[in-house]
Amino acid sequence: MTPGARIEAAIGLLHTIGDGGAPADDTVANYFRRHRFAGVKDRAAISKHIYGVLRHRGVIDWWLEKHNALRDARRRMLAQLALYEEWNPDQISRACDGDQFRPGRLDYGETQLVEALAGQKPEHRDMPLDARCNFPAWLTPFLERALGRDVSREMGAMQTEAPLDLRTNLIKTNREEVLRSLEMEDIRPGPTPLSPIGLRLYERVPLGQSETFKRGDVEVQDEGSQLAALMADVKPGMRVVDFCAGAGGKTLALAGQMKNRGHLVAADVAGKRLERATQRLRRAGASIVQRVTLTGARDKWVKRHAEGFDCVFVDAPCTGTGTWRRNPDAKWRLRPKDIEELTAIQADILDSAQRLVKPGGRLVYATCSLLMEEDEDQVEKFLATHPDFTLKPIADVWRDTIGTDCPVKGDMLRLTPAHHRTDGFFAAVMTRKAAPKKPKKAKEDEAVDDAVEAESEIADENSDG
């Protein structure tokens, strides 16, 4: 493909993604499946164009508004080329010559735009925080509340490309064996800084072709997500529920910690997503998993299995603000009403899921959100209305599971890209108070109770008759 053809493809895909359209990763993947002629370099260039616009859209839109230009896919692409990819006006004009498969010729306003942007530094002193840090303006108070003075630093980290993290499948192997296996395939990851079972790849590799991956020895999972799952501290032989299992990432992590011994339920309202987990479960050798499709948070299955599990893991649906490194388009799809709707859903899910926890059992609440409304606030409201649960200090949990000093302060786990080089993740661990032991009754008291109960049953039968 010519440079112009790559730009035209990127503009078309950006238009499809749009404001609130299909997720970028699905849109791009579907395009490449339909256009097999696109080579490796073509795919890399098109992806660079697209994700560049999505990551830098706040800055790009500020410049477009400054120059009275339309904020559409074509103009955003032109600005991306000029500001971030450092194309000069002549290069842009040659690529956009209107020939077959290439963008149409620049009009007068577009020519003026690319000439004005040529050589400009992307950030300008007049830019507000949201434009400079590339997030929707309405999110400013939410992010400032959660991140304080670190907003600029954290949002800057969100604009970088996330590394590829792998989780060792403890059902089949250990991290040291996986390292040796991958090195034999000329793949050289390093250990993740915090997760004792994670590996980090510092360059892109065709992982799907790796025999180590095909055998199910590793799974793709961000280090933050691995750590959240480790906080559940599940053990072999336990009864465990992954209440919002989705495609099974956390389910697989939990199965590994359980050494594939016990009973693990993967529950979700999205039956199709659970079905897609089948192949992953089979490859990983996770035979203890039972999949349960729920009709909703209040499904009768929950009532039938009340207080029947040692641990319930709730990876709640959320805004996904912690995953913007991987999904930069997601920030532009968010709307103010989403926070209100999602926090209500989270509270309902948490209130329902807690019914499954047995006395002395553990409830883990996790999100991939940075917002306190979805994280600390949600936990505090839950504890205020469920006095039989107590919050377990995360430093204690970390020491028991990881064996090192906890990298966060406070009683809940909050991981961020700038501070911990993970996706943004939150986790809180709560335990249900054990049922008080009933004092033993004297034999005489038991005899009296039995007599009273028998008389009551006879009275009930007579009244029914």
- DSSP letter at 77? H
- Where are the strands (E) in 286-424, listed by range? 289-293, 309-315, 357-367, 389-392, 413-415
CA distance 58 to 11: 17
- Say which residues have a Cβ less than 8 Å from residue 78's Cβ, sequence separation at least 6: 92, 96, 106, 110, 113, 114, 117
- DSSP letter at 438? P
Query: Which residue, chain included where needed, has tokens 């290439």?
Result: 102
Q: Which amino acid makes up residue 439?
A: P
Query: Which residue, chain included where needed, has tokens 């553990």?
Result: 362
Token code pair at residue 223: 């280090």
Residue 376's CB is within 10 A of a number of other CB atoms, namely 17
CA distance 140 to 129: 8
Q: Does the annotation mark 244 as catalytic?
A: no
Q: Indicate which residue of 96, 244, 311, 368 is catalytic.
A: 368
How far is CA 144 from each of CA 135, 138, 140, 385, rounded to the nearest angstrom? Answer: 12, 11, 6, 28
What H or E segment, with its residue span, contains residue 225? helix 223-230
Nearest one of 256, 263, 332 to 50, comparing CA atoms: 332
CA distance 195 to 219: 14
**Catalytically annotated residues:** 368
